[in-house]
Amino acid sequence: MWRWIDKAALVAPPTYNRWLVPPAALAVHLSIGMAYGFSVFWLPLGRAIGITSPAPGDWTLASLGWVYTLFFVLLGASAALFGPWLERHGPRAAGLAAAACWSGGLAVSALGVRFHRIELLWLGAGGIGGIGLGLGYIAPVSTLVRWFPDRRGLATGLAIMGFGGGAMIGAPLATDLMAAFATPRSVGVEETFWVLAAVYAVAMTLGALAFRVPAPGWQPAGWSPPPSAPRRSMRPGRAITTAPFAWLWLVLFLNVTAGIGLLGVASPMIQEVFAGRVDAAAAAGFTGLLSLFNIAGRLGWASLSDRIGRRATYGIFFGLGAALYTALPWAGASGSVPLFVGCAAVIVSMYGGGFAAIPAYLADIFGPGFVGAIHGRLLTAWSTAGIVGPWLVTALRDRQLSAGVPAAQVYDRTLWGMAALLVVGFLVNTRVRPLDPETLDALSESVSADPVRVAQPPSARSWVGVGASWLAVLVPLGWGIARTWALAVPLWR
């Protein structure tokens, strides 16, 4: 059984159609992306005993929020810890382990709701599920980097956009399920967790089983590595000791801190800035629209990075982002909801684009051979930013309120602070340089001596499978986008 799962059994024949891999990656990322939509459970869980309103013994939002914190702390930690294991055993083993952890965590959480034990919720969704997030996040990325050396940004964008868009499917699906399962004695969360655990187990298992890896020396027909591409691949233990890795860690940390800080307060911010004009339903449309731009940015900006380069792309993220953060208070003061929404949407698109382009940035500098493990180590920047960003935004907001600043203006200094962080990020990004050939040769341990194996034209039958695979992931994603857009349209009026 293990031989069938292990990396050696996944090597694809020369005629394999590489476009079968991105929908498999999307199946995994759309599933674990529900982590972004987990807040739909907070209010129902906060009245699990009282049913219609909170009662003594019900959980507080503060205690439930630890699940969200554990998600992103353990995502980065598990990605860093299991990255080398992924490189040894391949994406199928990692994908199946991710499916077991993410779905198993939801099942444990269902038991936590049944017995009303917050510890089981923290252990299940936050702990076991958080490990599943890390494994599921990095498994497809390292595979796609190898399959698409000519379009690394596009390939990783296709997969990682699923993590940003998973909430657009999972959040409305969970809301509908809770409404269907709700009774006078239950808020419907336990049953919803069981259904989601089963759905995600099937989707992630099918995605993981579809993973294949190219043969050593494989390259697309008509493509050859550019002269500037690394000829060697640096091992993770050595890569993390280099200056480029340190600068890239800071690049990701600063980009994520600013973006996740905005996402964390999106709903209350727009309601407070435009009090009396934007209600809770419209705010939900705003957060959904940000999710839509999050996934669009992951694909669009990562694809652009293939054309203009990774460093230039991040230069745009930081330069344009700082300008837009500075413009947000002005847009709020002017009373223009569409302008405010537009600025925030572009900012979040660059937040998503930063996630999608970073694996390609790493492969450009350290080579593609161990990018999964190196990427896993770099994701500790995300874990750190996931704590710092929301804390920074809420702390500044509370301080402004305590000082008597009107609610419509409490975010002004916060947004200017985010702009300052992005200015620092712009300067840090200018420090990222490729390693010189001598240094790369001295630190690398793996030189590929495999003969070049040019891809052969895939069969016509394989394109039928490609179409069916894409249809399977795009139909639910399209449903989520339609639901989101319906809520967001009023914001543009």
CA 252/CA 254 separation, integer angstroms: 6
Q: Quick one: pLDDT at residue 246?
A: 96
Max Cα distance, the chain (Å):
70
CA 98/CA 207 separation, integer angstroms: 11
Question: Mean pLDDT across the chain, nearest whole number?
Answer: 86
Q: Quick one: pLDDT at residue 443?
A: 65
In the chain, where does the domain assigned CATH 1.20.1250.20 lie?
1-7+17-220+457-493, 231-444
Q: Quick one: pLDDT at residue 401?
A: 72
pLDDT band per the 50, 70, 90 thresholds, residue 324: very high
Indicate whether 285 pLDDT > 80. no
- The token duo for 164 is 């940003």
Question: Which ranges in 265-336 belong to alpha helices (H)?
Answer: 266-273, 280-308, 310-334
CA 381/CA 375 separation, integer angstroms: 10
Amino acid at 362: L
pLDDT band per the 50, 70, 90 thresholds, residue 28: very high
- The token duo for 8 is 């050696």
- Ramachandran assignment for 182, one of left (phi > 0), alpha (psi -120 to 50 degrees), beta (any other): beta
CA 368/CA 191 separation, integer angstroms: 43
pLDDT band per the 50, 70, 90 thresholds, residue 262: confident
* HSE toward the beta carbon, residue 282, CA cutoff 13 A: 18
CATH topology of domain 1-7+17-220+457-493: Growth Hormone; Chain: A; (1.20.1250)
299 vs 295, 357, 411, CA distance in Å? Answer: 7, 9, 29
107 vs 36, 130, 480, 487, CA distance in Å? Answer: 18, 14, 24, 31
- For the stretch 8-24, pLDDT in tens is 788 898 889 999 999 99
Amino acid at 10: L
- For the stretch 49-94, pLDDT in tens is 888 888 888 898 778 878 888 887 898 899 989 988 888 888 999 9
Indicate whether 4 pLDDT > 50. yes
174 within 8 A of 182, measured Cβ to Cβ: no
Strand, coil or helix: what is 368? coil
Range from 96-100, 184-188, 213-217, 464-468 carrying the lowest mean pLDDT: 213-217
370 within 8 A of 448, measured Cβ to Cβ: no
Of 3.40.50.300, 1.20.1330.10, 1.20.1250.20, 1.10.8.420, the CATH number of 231-444 is 1.20.1250.20
Long-range contacts of 272-278 (CB under 8 A, 24+ apart): 272/407, 272/408, 272/410, 272/411, 273/332, 273/340, 273/408, 273/411, 274/332, 274/335, 274/337, 274/340, 274/408, 275/407, 275/408, 277/337, 278/337, 278/491
235 within 8 A of 444, measured Cβ to Cβ: yes
pLDDT band per the 50, 70, 90 thresholds, residue 424: very high
| DSSP-assigned states of every residue in 111-163 | HHHHHT-HHHHIIIIIIIHHHHHHHHHHHHHHHHHHH-TTSHHHHHHHHHHHH
Q: Quick one: pLDDT at residue 447?
A: 45
12 within 8 A of 455, measured Cβ to Cβ: no
Number of residues assigned to the chain: 493
- For the stretch 177-203, pLDDT in tens is 998 999 988 999 999 999 999 999 999
Write the CB contacts of 100 (distance below 8 Å, at least 6 apart in sequence): 132, 201
- For the stretch 436-488, pLDDT in tens is 766 666 666 544 455 677 778 888 889 999 999 999 999 998 998 888 777 77
Indicate whether 1 pLDDT > 60. no
* HSE toward the beta carbon, residue 63, CA cutoff 13 A: 13
Sign of CA dihedral 441, 445, 449, 452: negative
- As a whole-number percent, the residues of the chain with pLDDT over 90 amount to 40
- For the stretch 129-171, pLDDT in tens is 999 999 999 888 888 888 998 888 888 888 788 887 888 888 8
105 within 8 A of 1, measured Cβ to Cβ: no
Q: Quick one: pLDDT at residue 280?
A: 66
Q: How far is CA 251 from the centre of its chain?
A: 16
CA 324/CA 347 separation, integer angstroms: 7
147 vs 36, 141, 156, 371, 463, CA distance in Å? Answer: 28, 10, 10, 13, 17
Question: Greater confidence, 286 or 177?
Answer: 177
pLDDT band per the 50, 70, 90 thresholds, residue 119: very high
